[in-house]
Structure 1
Amino acid sequence: MRPNRKQLIVLAVAVLVGLAVTAVILWRRPPEVEVATVKLQTVELALSVVGRARPMDLVQVASPNPGQVVRLMHDDGDRVAAGEPLAVILAAVEQAQTQADLARERAARAEAADARLKYERTRTLSERGFAAPAALDAARTTLQAAEANVAAAAAAVRASAERAREFTIRAPMSGVVLVRPIDNGQVVAAGETLFELGSATGVEIRAEVEEAYADALRPGMSARAALSGASTIFAARVTEVSPQVDAATGGRLVKLAPEAGPSLSPGRSIDVTIVVGQRPGAVVLPRSAVADATAAPKVYVVDADDVVRERAVVVARWPTVNALIERGLTAGDRVILDPASARVGARVRPVAPKTED
């Protein structure tokens, strides 16, 4: 039996009413929000920095005299023994001084020769009675002064000649050439650095830490280290925390000693995580869950009636990936992960965060 027109109309009305009721129910249904349930846990308080491997001992090898570099025996990365030649310097400036001293010596010898001739002439005249004894004494004094000038000029020539010779720069200790900032033919000044040597054995890690965080570091603290870009982790330990603050960077130097691990080349970048301590009973949240984190930190929690409430919190000032909540939350609190997804006083349907496949 086919339905008549009246039955079709009734059926259509029933469907429309059902759809309307469903729409109203869905419209009035509270929105879903992702929440994290607070669980107290023990958190490792650590500080991550990037350091560099440096030899235990560093020596700047400088030229004692000005001159020209005429020969270089070693380059960056070379290993050298104590006393081994590093470079040869020709004291070009001192050579000019030697020439001037030689000229003064020749002049002094000429004056001395003239003084001797005058003395001999005066002595002969004195013996024949034609010159007074006083004249002979004066000639003798002039000759002695001229001979003293010759001795002084000769000594100056020897001294300047010693300075003007080619002199060899030698390694003051066994180690590795870290830096050689000079080239063949370059003219260097007295005291200018020619080489930087690092000890061949014993390497430390040096890192700069912001002074606000360096106050929490102490010698003896353990650390985890890895060559930058590598996955192998080796142990290290803090040996020194410098009390001096670098005025330019606002950081303090921290030194660490590797306890094991790969061979560290000087200058190699190393990722270091210093373990400051353990904090039991800690509350950790994603930083995105904290609103107004810098001015007035707060989070949105869902109460027992599924209503959104605002809660002020205190966030630890420590460079962690997640926010470490010091006060304001307790175990079991349901915290909205995205504060922008809800408003205070609204009723919501809390759900667990979605996991990525």
Structure 2
Amino acid sequence: MNYESGDMYAITDDSERKRSRRWLIIGAAVVVVLILAFVLMRPHKPAAPAGAGPTAPQGDQLPVVSVGVPGNNAVARQVAATGSLAARVEMPVGVAGEGGRVTAVLVQPGQWVGAGQVLATVDRSVQTQTAASLAAQIRVAQADATLAQSELDRAMKLVSGGYISKADIETKTATRDAANARVRVAEATLAQQRAANGRLDIRAPAAGLVLSRSVEPGQIVSAGSGVLFRIAKGGELELKADVAESDLPGIFVGAVATVVPVGGTASYTGHVWQLPAVIDPQTRRGTVRIALPFDRSLRPGGFASATIQIGANTAPVLPNAAIQTDAQGNYVYVVDKNDKVQPVRVTTGEVTDAGVAIVSGLAGNERVVLQAGAFLSPGQKIKPVLKPMTATK
């Protein structure tokens, strides 16, 4: 009975193996049918000619690229420069007289002063007494002159009666003249002293802006004390701009310049008033002086940049994205009549807010790729989309 059970189990295992093998065969057949159906239903492309390269994209598969016709625009020629701000005419002010102890300083840096305005006063107590003494000497001399005139008048009345000789008259006349001369000398001496007293006051030689002061009340000053105040005449400033030697030939006196101080966004309009007489032999640069009107925002000694307008010309202008660069220089992609892109070497010029001027390489009537040039290849066919560009013929 045990043998019969073993045979039964053996028959059952064999049936299971046959059933599993049958399902595997059926699954494999289904997969083969599906693969054959996919191959038969897929559309067939015509065979490429022998030796042909990769097939180019057709129709909607061509890349859509923006192109433009730049034309010719008026491009302002500019020269960029940097430099420092300074007073156009700086007036150093010191002691003009004999000096002394400073009693008061009446102005501060940044203050506007008029011509002849007192900047500081110097003690004049001794000089005042000297002037008073000289004034008294004038009165003494005037009294002597009055007395001499009276004596001469009396003598003239007596000369006709023979009481006084002509020699006495001449003597009295000389005495009167000498007395009058002493009066004039005393008056001149007093005027000289008063002028010297007036020079004790330190005054502004002309109207302008006080830039600095180096004197304090109580300080002893003299003609050897050096500069006590610095004044910008008329408040006029200038930018001493360093310009490369190659850019100097195009700059002329009167050229308009836009100056922007470092750290600010405000711009100021000035004009070139002086060109350099010499070129620095080491830096090969010259200093162009740009006059600027008075403005409290401009401070001498500050650093600023300038853009000098030196004329204008016409040239195609392209956005910066249209210009490509390689080891040989700059180039742009131009679309030919077959809508294929071809590289064209160009020389760039002025860079403005409108774009980059093309000095050579383009006539202005070409269709130029404006964007995505870096992703194109020479001879590649594209689908160009023309974009309007502002141009002046």
Question: How would you bin the TM-score normalised by the shorter chain?
Answer: 0.5 to 0.7
Under a length normalisation based on structure 1, what TM-score does the superposition of the two structures give? 0.55
Select the residue among 264, 267, 278 that pairs with 2:298: 267
Amino acid at match of 2:277: P
Q: For residues 295 and 91 of structure 2, what CA distance do their matches in structure 1 show?
A: 19
Contact 2:276 2:286 in 1 (8 A): no
Instruction: Tell me whether 1:36 sits opposite 2:48 in the alignment.
Output: no
| Greater mean alpha carbon deviation, residues 334-343 or residues 242-251 | 242-251
Instruction: Tell me whether 1:214 sits opposite 2:248 in the alignment.
Output: yes
The residue aligned with 1:61 is: 93
Q: Deviations over 1:285-313 (max 9, x none)?
A: 12332233896222222222222212111
The residue aligned with 2:320 is: 287
Q: Deviations over 1:233-265 (max 9, x none)?
A: 87x54332233446679452232466xxxx634
The residue aligned with 2:275 is: 241
Q: For residues 291 and 243 of structure 1, what CA distance do their matches in structure 2 show?
A: 41
Q: For residues 278 and 37 of structure 1, what CA distance do their matches in structure 2 show?
A: 21
Instruction: Tell me whether 1:195 sits opposite 2:229 in the alignment.
Output: yes
Deviation at 1:75, TM superposition (A): 0.4
Q: For residues 224 and 197 of structure 1, what CA distance do their matches in structure 2 show?
A: 25
Select the residue among 194, 205, 208 that pairs with 1:172: 205
Instruction: Tell me whether 1:72 sits opposite 2:105 in the alignment.
Output: yes
Q: CA RMSD in A?
A: 4.9
- Indicate the SS of the match to 1:172: coil
Contact 1:54 1:266 in 2 (8 A): no
Instruction: Tell me whether 1:341 sits opposite 2:372 in the alignment.
Output: no
Q: For residues 325 and 243 of structure 2, what CA distance do their matches in structure 1 show?
A: 24
Select the residue among 348, 362, 373 that pairs with 1:329: 362
Q: For residues 286 and 336 of structure 2, what CA distance do their matches in structure 1 show?
A: 44
Contact 2:323 2:330 in 1 (8 A): yes
Amino acid at match of 2:331: K
Determine which structure has more spread, i.e. the larger CA radius of gyration.
2
Amino acid at match of 1:264: D
Q: For residues 37 and 301 of structure 1, what CA distance do their matches in structure 2 show?
A: 10
Contact 1:241 1:255 in 2 (8 A): no
**For residues 79 and 186 of structure 1, do their structure 2 counterparts lie closer, same or farther at Cα, with a shift above 3 Å needed?**
same
- Structure 1 unmatched ranges of 5 or more: 1-8, 91-166
Instruction: Tell me whether 1:312 sits opposite 2:311 in the alignment.
Output: no
Higher strand residue share: 1
Deviation at 1:62, TM superposition (A): 3.7
Identity %: 25
Q: Deviations over 1:103-130 (max 9, x none)?
A: xxxxxxxxxxxxxxxxxxxxxxxxxxxx
Contact 1:49 1:207 in 2 (8 A): no
Q: For residues 299 and 243 of structure 1, what CA distance do their matches in structure 2 show?
A: 42
Amino acid at match of 1:32: V
**For residues 43 and 319 of structure 1, do their structure 2 counterparts lie closer, same or farther at Cα, with a shift above 3 Å needed?**
closer
Q: For residues 50 and 39 of structure 1, what CA distance do their matches in structure 2 show?
A: 33
Select the residue among 46, 49, 67 that pairs with 2:78: 46
Contact 2:88 2:238 in 1 (8 A): no
Deviation at 1:325, TM superposition (A): 1.2
Q: For residues 250 and 188 of structure 1, what CA distance do their matches in structure 2 show?
A: 41
Amino acid at match of 2:208: G
| Greater mean alpha carbon deviation, residues 341-350 or residues 287-296 | 287-296
Contact 1:54 1:267 in 2 (8 A): no
Q: For residues 206 and 275 of structure 1, what CA distance do their matches in structure 2 show?
A: 15
